Amino acid sequence: MTRQQMDDLKGQGRYGTFLQQICQFYLQYHRETYGMEAMFLHDPTAFAGVIAPECFTWKVGAVRVVTEGLACGATIMDLGNKTWNSPNGWMNRPHVRVAIDVDAERLTRLIYNRLKL
């Protein structure tokens, strides 16, 4: 969400001014860290995946999280494009549904409109 969108929340709905004020820290963090006049909306985006799944492109597959080495913390997914013919760490893993793309404009509009209530 852009700084302008956050500023526009001031005076909107029950919590617009409060949200605009408490998000200043996050906006400053994103400016200093990423050089952008906006902030990522991780938690509202996760919730939007439940209430508005049409905002996302979804894939189903096995997911693993790297726990060691240079890629520690990276999430990787087996999309099932390959048939495994020998035992490995992907076999017998449960499949989950993962959002791999988002209609950012639509999602931001959805979140912004909810925040104005």
Residue 13: left if φ>0, alpha if ψ -120 to 50, beta else—which one? left
Residue 57 — left, alpha, or beta (φ > 0 → left; ψ -120 to 50 → alpha)?
beta
8 Å CB contact between 16 and 117 = no
Per the annotation, the verdict on 42 as an active-site residue is yes
Which residue is catalytic, options 32, 33, 35, 42? 42
Cβ neighbours, 10 Å, residue 115: 20
Nearest residue to 53 via CA among 91, 97, 95, 83: 97
**Strands 56-65 vs 95-102: parallel, antiparallel or unpaired:** antiparallel
What are the catalytic residues?
A: 42
